[in-house]
Amino acid sequence: MHCSPLRTCGLLAVVLTLLGTGWLAGCGDYQKVLKSTDPELKWTRAQEYFADDRCIQALPLLQELIGLFRGTERMEDVYYMYAEANLCIEDWYMARYTMRNFSKTFPTSDRSEEAEYQAALCSYRLSPGANLDQSDTRTAMDELQLFLDRHPESEKRDTCNAMISALRDKLETKAWNGAKLYFTTGKFQSASTALANFMEEWPVSQYSEEAQFLILKSQFLYAEQSTERRQAERYADAIESYFTFAARFPESELIREAERFHRQSRQGLERVSKD
């Protein structure tokens, strides 16, 4: 084999080695296919590479064939395989783009629905952890819901709904972490406001019990830190929050601690009232 490391074949060899493919011996043959002016040969080899999961080799050929077969009957097959090859190498951004483009370019194709689904699935895979910006998560939810709206009888309906639910949980966790952070950092006035806003946005949340309890605790601690002339109002807020918590979660493991804050808030209110 005669391949300079600065040439495409050498670069490809490095990539393939990293991927564990072990095809270095075929480098010269692959170069001949790349340099060939025979589109049928390129198409045949691209299909062989793709079938063998050698997607990194198939991609340059398929990309070239898109230009060569544009406007022909074979274009649909070539472009779909190109989109699938991007899925194969887990380039989710490029795979999403090409799958979207396929469904728009070939809307009557038998593969159009699958392409729409795969594009939405790429968006799902691009959704980051709950501690990061959730723009991609919202995009994924919108795309999955759009797929369901367009294909309400799809066999992938349950899978899409499960993914939407998982994405919604991630948004909920992101909102919860943000609201709870005010309490963790000792900003009790902001905490009670942020936690109340969280409860309003997520009324049926897995964090509802803890959120309602932390509203009570934040208001009590904020009252304790306040000047005497503002304490009466703030102890009263804590007392009101206790009754809300006790009514919603009477069997909570936190009820005893909530009662303690209620009792101390009443004592504080009586003290400042006498003064």
For residue 150, give Cα distances in angstroms to 97, 112, 147, 158.
19, 12, 5, 15
Answer with the one of 89, 118, 135 that is the final residue of a domain: 89
Within this chain, do residues 201 and 270 fall inside the same structural domain, yes or no?
yes
Residues 80 and 137 in one domain: no
Q: Answer for the pair 46, 58: CB distance below 8 angstroms, yes or no.
A: yes
Let me know if residue 48 belongs to a domain.
yes
Band (pLDDT 50/70/90 cuts) for residue 21 is very low
Q: Quick one: which of 234, 233, 196 has its CA closest to 212?
A: 196
pLDDT of residue 40: 95
pLDDT, tens only, 266-275: 999 999 988 6
159 domain residue, yes or no: yes
Residue 28 and residue 143: Cα distance in Å, rounded? 43
Q: What radius of gyration do the chain's Cα atoms show?
A: 30
Q: Are residues 207 and 136 in the same domain?
A: no
pLDDT for res 275: 66
Select the more confidently predicted residue: 275 or 111. Answer: 111
| 8 A C-beta contact, residue 195 and residue 237 | no
What was the pLDDT predicted at 10? 40
148 close to 157: Cβ distance less than 8 angstroms: yes
Domain boundary pick from 175, 198, 231 = 175
Q: What's the one-letter identity of residue 152?
A: P
From residue 46, give the alpha-carbon distance in Å to each of 21, 241, 254: 16, 67, 63
Structure tokens at 177: 């972490």
Structural domain includes residue 94: no
Across 31-35, 89-93, 106-110, 138-142, least confident range: 31-35
Tell me the residue range of the domain where 73 lies.
28-89
The DSSP 8-state label assigned to residue 156 in this structure reads: T
* For residues 190-214, average pLDDT: 97
> Is 66 a member of any domain?
yes
Same domain, 218 and 167: no
Where does the pLDDT of residue 211 fall: very low under 50, low under 70, confident under 90, or very high at 90 and above?
Answer: very high
Mean pLDDT of all residues belonging to the chain: 91
Nearest in space to 172 (alpha carbons), one of 148, 196, 203, 144:
203
CB 93 within 8 A of CB 119: no
Q: Give which of 27, 110, 7, 94 is closest to 59, Cα–Cα.
A: 94
**pLDDT above 90: residue 121:** yes
- For the segment 236-258, what is each residue's pLDDT rounded down to a tens digit? 999 999 999 999 999 999 999 99
Same domain, 273 and 191: yes
Q: Are residues 272 and 194 in the same domain?
A: yes
> Does some domain include residue 75?
yes
Neighbours of 274 (CB within 10 A): 6
How many structural domains comprise the chain?
Answer: 3
> pLDDT value at position 13?
42
Give the tokens for residue 218.
């934040």
Mean pLDDT of 132-153: 97
Task: Reply yes or no on whether the pLDDT at 11 is more than 80.
Answer: no
Domain of 258, CATH number, reads 1.20.58
Interval 29-50: pLDDT, tens: 899 999 999 999 999 999 999 9
Tell me what percent of the residues of the chain surpass a pLDDT of 90. Answer: 87
The reply to whether 243 and 158 lie within a common domain is no
Return d(Cα 238, Cα 229) in angstroms, integer: 16
